[in-house]
Each structure stands twice: as C-alpha cells, then as structure tokens.
Amino acid sequence: MPRSTRKIVCFSDFDGTIFMQDTGHILFDNLGCGTKRREILDEQIKSGERSFREVSEEMWGSLRVPFEDGFEVMKQNLEIDPGFEEFHRFCLANKIDFNVISAGLKPILRRVLDTFLGEQASSIQIVANEVDIKDDGSAWKPIWRHDTELGHDKALSVQEGRAEAAKYCIDGQIPLIVFIGDGVSDLAAAREADVLFARKGLRLEEYCQENKIPYIPFETFADIKREIEGLMKEDQEKTGGEGTPARFNPRANMWRRVSSKQSVPQFIAATPSKEEKMFLWPESFSQPTAIQENVPA
C-alpha cells in the first residue's frame, strides 16, 4: 500500500502493552517484596499517600538477586503480544519510527526485547529510566530520567519525540504521533498523542470513556496495524482541516491550528480522580508552552 505523506512516530508503553505481564511485578512478586506487600504499595500510589517514585524505589530496593537471575524469572513468565512482531515489521517496512516509552528500567526492557525479538529489536528506541545494580545483586537503585514524583515524565518525552521527528519532516509537515498504552501511568503521555490506542478492558480505556477522549481500542497489535493502515490511507487522501479524522485526540491536536485555520480543536476539560492526579499533571503541564498559550479561553 502507498505510504502516508506524513511522518508517523509510534510511542508504546511496555508492561501490559507490548508484553502482557509487568516486568517489575514479576520480579517483586517472585524475588523481592512479595505480592502482598507490592499490592499494598500499589494502593499507596493510587490513594496519593506516597509518590510513584518513592514507592518504586522501595519495590526495586527489595530485590537482592543478580540481574541474570532476575532475567531468567522474567523470561519464564513473560508473554509477548501475539501481534507485536508483525506490527513492528510493518513499521520498519513503512518507515514508521517505533519507540518504547516506559516508567520501567531501560536495561531490563532492552534485554527482554533483544531476547524475544532478536536483531529486529535493534531498531527500537527505549525511553525509560536507568538503573544501578551491584554485581552481586545486593542493591537495585533506579536512576530516574526526570526529577519529578513520577521519575519519568512520559508526557515530556513524547513532546521531545515530536520535536525531534519534526526536524526530519519535509515542506513544513508536522509528524503524526501515535501512542499505545493500557494503564493509569500512560494517561499524561496519551494526552500528548494525536492518535491513541488503549488496550480493551483496562484503566486507560475506562478513563477515555469516562472523559470522552477519542481513542481506538485494541486487543492485539494486529488491530493496531489494521487501524494505522487505514489512517495512512486517510492521510494520503486528505490531511488536516475538515479531513482530519474524528478519532484524533483534540487536546494533542491543538497544534493543528498552525497548519489549518479550518480546524480549531476544543480543549477537553476533565477533573482527574484521586487515583489519577499525579499522572495527569506532571510538571511539564504546569509550565506554559507556545501551544498552551494559544488555547482559546
């Protein structure tokens, strides 16, 4: 099929999205603080009692095993989305940049992708936190990407990815940003995307439904491949203005007014629940940007 005239960049969550399980949960439940304690810590995040970063440091700090031992447990318990490999090959064939964006630890994610995908994984950029692990495994300490309560401000990383992609667009075109996720920690980044995919039946989809945020549900990456093929066809036929598909995220699409005076999206006003406040409003949202300053009152 003909390629889209617009550069497409995909950002995807890792745990629960590319892989059906959570890498951290596998480690904590089997080799660290245990399932019961981990569930208590998760509730502390949801209630706002403690920050994501603080709780995560306790979880990772509970591990007392070498990296290789931890990886063996993950390898035995992880299951990759059945449509992911084919979807990633589709991205490579159509020059669609694919990036993992995660609140997890980059060395773990890289090793998992390399093991499950082989050489195919080398083209995937991973935007995540680093980690310092002692050789004997006696201490695991995350090295956070950002100095915030989240540790990794996914929204800021998507903004940076958009700006970087724009450098390589021709004729002043603006890249199309796709985000793929499943849970609460994806909310801030999801609001930055132009096209949002949410795994069916999980918290990200529930939030989108509650707040009337346009999204495309998916069960496997095969669904995402089919939808993006359709978007590429739509984009080739008519881009921007009245031709902009309704399933685009209006909040992220505030930038479209720059290239189309006919398309002035409406700002989505949503009051986050107690569970979502820390994820929805990272520090980057509190700082005015050129886009935010142009939002109609």
Residue of 13, 22, 29, 194 with catalytic role: 13
63: its two tokens: 């591990």
| Residues contacting 137, CB < 8 A, separation 6+ | 63, 64, 65, 66, 67, 69, 70
Is 13 among the residues known to form the active site?
Answer: yes
Is 136 among the residues known to form the active site?
Answer: no
Residue of 15, 22, 97, 182 with catalytic role: 15
CB 195 within 8 A of CB 213: no
CB 128 within 8 A of CB 94: no
| Burial bucket for residue 246 (CB in 10 Å: 0-12, 13-18, 19+) | exposed
DSSP three-state, residue 3? coil
Among the listed residues 82, 109, 96, the one whose alpha carbon sits nearest the alpha carbon of residue 24: 109
DSSP single-letter state for residue 275: T
Between β-strands 176-181 and 195-199, what pairing exists: parallel, antiparallel or unpaired?
Answer: parallel
Catalytic residues: 13, 15
